[in-house]
Amino acid sequence: MLKKLFATGVAATLAAAMAPQIASGQDFVRIATAGSGGNYYRLGGGLASIYNNVLEGTQASIQATGGSVENLDLLADQEVEVAYLTGSVGQQAYTNTGQFADRPEGRYEGLRAIATVYPNPQWFIAIDEDIQSMQDLEGKRVSVGTQGGTGETWWRSIMEHLGWTYEDIHPEFTVHQSAIDQVRNRQIDAMVWPDAPGSASIQQVADTGMARALDVDEDVIEAMTADSLDYAYTMPASANPFGEEEIKTFASPITFATHSGMSEDQVYELTKAMFENKEELIKVHPLAEYMTLENATDGLPFPLHPGAERYFREQGVM
């Protein structure tokens, strides 16, 4: 049961990961994450520390970003070497569909996958006692995640299914600590954004005693999982800090990604170091327990990088 993050060494790990890159003749590895304090950020900090410790000649650092959409643009422009992102959002970018339909065709054709690392389920949390389904969110104050992030991207798709626009709710573009504060201060009626099982942020919302976790409406699950990498997902009761029930929702595979400008040898070494130092990564964030060789190539949003493929073939999982 992943209820709380392991705190040991996190501060030191992030400090080391963000140290200035001043050495010459180094392979620089910039890891795009998301907002500071989130899952991508913590995992990225731990991974940067691993790369710096075990890969000779590599100088790794993390970069806080706005999340999946910004990370996809950074990869497309080769302004970072690797990034975490939501698989279904990455799929939209690669295929020029969804919110990426108006982007230049071929802009994201150089995206390459390294591995699927963990499931990212949608949470539907109500503070207002009158809210029983997503239909009840009309006219309510709803935290939908940061603009351009995975949560807000998903919410736009949910609104399209419901036939709504932002005029039908009072959106709050908040997540993590900001949304937790809004719950405590009774400034929002509901939260609708994804976070990993065992999330510290979700635990803190539950600890307020002011909120309930609800099943996502069946029709919304069907709409969000049609022609998508997203899939129906049942949150185990052990990961529900609001009660002892399972939660029906949907989830997307989180992808660790790179771009075609990275060499096969570079990505091979990065992939190998990540998987062969998994226990160190778990000490920084227990979500790393979900990262397995057996599931590494499931639900990828775009082609696997040859360097990652080489490593997985060596391990006998391809």
DSSP string computed for the chain: ---S---TTHHHHHHHHTS----SS-EEEEEE--STTSHHHHHHHHHHHHHHHHSTTEEEEEE--S-HHHHHHHHHTTSSSEEEEEHHHHHHHHHT-GGGTTSPTTTTTTEEEEEEEEEEEEEEEE-STT--SGGGGTTSEEE--STTSHHHHHHHHHHHHHT--GGGSEEE---HHHHHHHHHTT--SEEEEE--TT-HHHHHHHHTT--EE-PPPHHHHHHHHTTSS-EEEEE-GGG-TT-SS-EEEEEEEEEEEEETTS-HHHHHHHHHHHHHTHHHHHHH-GGGGG--TTTTTTT-SSPBPHHHHHHHHHTT--
Q: Does the fold of domain 121-252 match that of domain 10-119+254-314?
A: yes
pLDDT of residue 198: 78
Q: Domain coordinates of the chain in residue numbers?
A: 10-119+254-314, 121-252
Long-range contacts, stretch 200-203, CB < 8 angstroms, 24+ apart: 200/4, 200/5, 201/38, 201/175, 201/176, 201/177, 202/123, 202/125, 202/241, 203/3, 203/4, 203/241
pTM for the model stands at 0.79
pLDDT of residue 11: 43
Domain over 121-252 is classified CATH 3.40.30.10? no
As a CATH number, domain 10-119+254-314 is 3.40.190.10
- Return the bridge partners of 143, or none: 172, 191
pLDDT of residue 3: 37
pLDDT of residue 149: 80
CA distance 132 to 103: 37
Over its length of 318 residues, how does the chain's per-residue pLDDT go in tens digits?
Answer: 443 333 434 444 444 444 433 333 469 999 999 887 778 999 999 999 999 999 999 999 999 998 899 999 999 999 999 999 999 999 999 999 988 999 999 999 999 999 999 999 999 999 999 999 999 999 999 999 988 788 898 999 999 999 999 999 999 999 888 999 999 999 999 999 999 887 888 999 999 999 999 999 999 999 999 988 999 999 999 989 999 999 999 999 999 999 999 999 999 999 999 999 999 999 999 889 999 999 999 999 999 999 999 999 999 999
